Each structure stands twice: as structure tokens, then as C-alpha cells.
Structure 1
Amino acid sequence: MSLFNLKELKRSSIYFTPNFPSLQTKRYKFSFFKVTGLVILYSLFVALLTTLILILTPAKEILFFVENENLTEKAEQIKEMDERIQILTKQLNAISSTNAKLKYAIMLGEVDSLDSNTQKIYDSLRESSTNKKKIPKEGFVLKAFIQFVNKFFNNDTLDADLIFIQPSKGKVINNFNETKGHLGVDYALKNDSPIFASESGHIIFSGYDINDGYTIIIAHQNNYISKYKHCAKLLVSEREFVRQGEIIAMSGNSGFNTSGPHLHFEIWKDGFALDPYKYLIVEGELNGK
């Protein structure tokens, strides 16, 4: 007969013969469609019962506990990775912006490399000739002496308009050494000690650098710039004008290139680092220029 012949299937029967040693063997006859119907009904009953158990009892939580735990853990890991990526993206953007500003600030100090347009921007940051700073009383005698030397001895090496003062009250622990790449002076300071503007000028950079930490760069007259590195807090903003002796930051230990709380101070002119100790007033005297 054919395997799927409906007439033959109707006449087909399925026999069950249980065999128990203590009982007489009997043979039970069932039609094929009856057995098929019972199997289908039993399957539907089991499926319905399982569904009701999962809906009405905590069995679902028990069955899927391990799977849910793994999914929850993976979801938390994905969320944590996403947060880290967002933080890293913000940090990279901040670093990129800071590096761009720092590069621009350094470029402003290198007058020889400026074009006419950039020179106009740099000139706009300087004080106008009609609004020059007032020399403090204690520095007037020194300024007058410098002007006297320049006038009667034709000495142009001294800048009478610029008188740098100590940027902090800390002790010098590391001097200028160009051969070793140390282009400034280090002052030992406690955390959150005040840092002063060594000379009046405009803030051309106030931000964070990976190596130098929180840094301030001031543009002065006659193409001088001064740098204050490894600060803990910055109290001034870019394009702000500060007076000599004004508190501009608090000392700290920020950045990678530091081994303890201190201030690294630099003086530059025309793109070249100068020995700050030769340009600073110490206890009322100018060290030398």
C-alpha cells in the first residue's frame, strides 16, 4: 500500500502488547487515527500546561535565571564600555582643543614666524601705547635707572618697560639649564600656594596640558611671554589682562612631568627660552640682563 493512502490509513490499526511476567499477556488494538488524535491532544495539553505554569508561577524566573544573569552582566559591561568611550571621546576632544590653543599661544611668542594677519592678532593682545601700565612705586627707581643707562650709554639690552618679579614665594630647587632641556626655574611650594603674575600682560593660554598640567601663558610687551606650569587651580581666563603681582593661580602637582608640588616658571622672547633668574627682581634688586 501507499504510505499516505487515506483509505488504507483508516483501516490501519496499531497494536499494543504489554508483557508482564506475573500477568497474562493481552493485546490491545487501536485505530491509527485514534492514536494520532490522542498524541496531538496530549501534546497540546502539555504545551498549555507549561505555558500556564510559566505565566502564573515563578518557574519562569527559575528556568531563565542563569540566562538572565548572563544577559544582565553583558548589558552592564556594554553600558560601562559605552560610558568609558564617551569619557575618552570627551577627553580626546579636550586634549585636542587644549593642544591647539597651546600651539597657538606658543606661536604668538615666536614673532619671527608670524605673518601679517597673525601679527595683528598678537598686537591686539598687547597694551596700547595710550594705556601703558603704571610702574609700582617700589619699581620706579629701577625703571628710571634703566632709562638713564639706555639713554646716556646707548644700551638697548635693557627693557625699561619690563620688570619681572618673583612669581611665588617658594624656594628655588632647580635652575635654568638649557643643555639638559630644563628651560625654566622650579620653585618648591606647598599645594594651593598663590602664584603671581611676574609682569603685566594678556593671558593667551589658560588650560590643561598632559605633560605640564594646568598652565598659564602671559604675553607681555616687547615680545616677552611667561609660563606658569603644574598649577592646581587657574584663576584667570584667556584674553584677560592681569597686572603685575596679581594672583593668577594656585600651585599644585598636575601633569606627567612633575614629581611633587612645585611651580615651573619660564620666560621666553621671540621663540627662545631665557634664564628667568637673569630677568627677575630678587629682594628689590635686578639679577641682571
Structure 2
Amino acid sequence: MFQLFKSLFNKRFKSLTLVLWVNTNPDKTETYSFRPIRLFRYYVVSVFLTVFLFAAILYFTPLGSLLFSKQDRLLRHAVTDVSDRVIALQDSLALRDMQLMNIRDVLLNAVDTTFETSTDIYYEPLQSAGTIPHSTTMEVPEFESLTNIDVIYASSYGGSLQFPAMFPLNGTVTRSFDSASRHYGTDIAAPLDSYIRAVADGAVIQSGWGVDYGYSVSVQHSDGYVSVYKHSASIYKVKGDMVLQGDIIGKVGNTGFMSSGPHLHFELWQNGVPQNPARFFNNL
């Protein structure tokens, strides 16, 4: 067959005669005269028309959408995924800006924290029979804006703050504080859903979710200290809540893009400067 086409191509400009006959009846023959160049032209034109017709069917009929619907779905899913990531990043940036503003306000001694104080009176235990107990609290109007957490604690609980004194949870330190690599905290590995406890008395100044660190809580303490708990599976405190040392504020999780496994990323700051937790806890 190849030799036939090669011979026709070599003689494409010549006039050829095609003779057809049946083997069982060689006396009956049919002859046709033609030029091979015309056959090649007809072939090219027919191929072009076939391709054009197929493209027109795909473009002007629903058949095209059926053939390319899978690619369209994949493209739409990719666009939707990128859009969701952009929205999540915007939410994370907004949350981070809010956290920075809260910490700045705390460090400037102007915490805009509102909470409902109890009107109950706290009494000292009786020292001896016949002793009249006396109140050790000051009356604080409800929904008062706090400007000095130390004063509120001293007036409400009648005790001095002792900070820090308690490890946030039982676990294994997997990465220590390292300011050179901008790791301003300590990573503590622990089983999933282990309880995270407040290291000292204080007030919650931030509670929420971010893309990088997942669920996190920040607690303002006395003397300008702020403790931060990140990558939680869930959090039990909201902004404005007052916490005591040892109160459960969340559970260990693996939330946030920067988390590589169930652990707590614990940070300790004082007056806006990151502190090495190992200086305050024997466990570290």
C-alpha cells in the first residue's frame, strides 16, 4: 500500500488510467482516467471539512459542554479553593490586628474589658466562736470597664497575685524558646484533648481562631505579663472572662496551618517583650 501511494505521489501531475476487473470474469473491465494531484486535493479538503464540522458541533451544541465538563469542574473547584484561602487569610489578618490592639491596650494600662461582677459578698472564715465575719470586697458597678486588673483582683478576692507558679499541662517539651529563629514560645506535646490550664490569675484579652495557630487564648496577668495558648482543639473562655490559676481554658489540639501534631504552643510576654518560659517553670 505504501508503494502505491509513493508511486501516485511521484506521478501526481501525470494522467493515469485505472483499470478494474473481476478475477472470475477478466473480459469485463472498467477503466478510469485521473490525475493523482486531484485525489490529494480532495483528500486534504475532506480532512479540513471533517475537522471544521467536528469543531462546529462541539462549539454550537451541548456535546462540547459534556466533553469538557470535568475540566470545568476541576477549574471551578480550584478557583473556589483559592477564594476560600484568601477569605481565611483575610479573617486571620483581621483577627491578628485585633489581638495586637488588645495587647497594646493592655500594656498601656487601658484594657477595654467589660464583665458582669457578682453582687455576692465574700466573707473571711470564722476564727473563733462569736467572731463576726467581715467583708473583704469592694463594690464594683456591673459592666465596669477595667483599667487595672491588679486592683480588681485585690478588691474581689482579697489576695495577692502570685505569678507564674503553675505549668499549663502535663506533657513533653518538643521545642524550646528560641528568639534567634523567631520561635517565641515553647511547644509541649500532649495527648489530644488534654486539658490546658491557666498558669496564673488573670483576664482573657483574646479568644478565637486564626489560620496559622488555630484556636488560641491570651490571658493578661499582673505586672504586665501575658500568657498565650495556641493550637487548641477547643477553647472554653471568651474575651472578658476572669480566670484563676489552674482554671481549664481549653483542650490540646492540632489546629492551624503551623501545627504539626497535637501540642500546645505556650508563649509568655511581659510588657510586649517575649519571655523564655524556662525561666519561670521548673518543668521546662
TM-score relative to the length of structure 1: 0.55
- In the TM superposition, residue 231 of structure 1 has moved relative to its aligned partner by 1.6
Deviation by residue 1:179-237 (Cα, 9 ceiling, x = unmatched): 44332222121111111111121111112333333221111122110011222222211
Give the number of equivalent residue pairs: 194
Q: Which of 149, 162, 170 lines up with 1:127 in the alignment?
A: 149
Match of 2:91 in 1: 94
What is residue 46 of structure 2 aligned with on the other side? none
Report if the CA contact (8 A) 2:91-2:210 is conserved. Answer: no
Gaps of 5+ in 1: 1-62, 144-159
Following the alignment from structure 2 to structure 1, what is the Cα–Cα distance between the partners of residues 87 and 207?
18
Higher alpha-carbon deviation: 80-89 or 178-187: 80-89
Change (3 A) 1:91 1:194: same
Aligned match of 1:59: none
Identity of aligned residues (%): 25
Contact 1:203 1:237 in 2 (8 A): yes
| Structure exhibiting the larger radius of gyration computed from Cα positions | 1
Which AA in structure 2 matches 1:102?
Answer: Q
**Distance between the aligned counterparts of 1:248 and 1:227, measured in 2?**
11
Q: Which shifted more, 273-282 or 247-256?
A: 273-282
Match of 2:101 in 1: 104
Structure 1 residue 193 corresponds to structure 2 residue 188: no
Q: What is the alpha-carbon root mean square deviation over aligned residues? A: 3.5
Map residues 245-256 of structure 1 onto 2, 5 A cutoff.
245-256=246-257
**Larger CA deviation: 125-134 vs 70-79:** 70-79
Q: Deviations over 1:58-87 (max 9, x none)?
A: xxxxx9441453696688578657754663
- Cross-structure match for 1:236: 237
Deviation at 1:99, TM superposition (A): 1.9
Secondary structure in structure 2 of the residue aligned to 1:164:
coil
Q: Which runs of 5 or more residues in structure 2 are unaligned?
A: 1-59, 114-144
The Cα shift of 1:269 comes to 0.6
- Structure 1 residue 209 corresponds to structure 2 residue 200: no
Q: Deviations over 1:25-49 (max 9, x none)?
A: xxxxxxxxxxxxxxxxxxxxxxxxx
Q: Aligned partners of 1:68 and 1:186: how far apart in 2?
A: 52
CA contact (8 A) 1:197 1:245 kept: yes
Report the TM-score, using the length of structure 2 for normalisation. 0.56
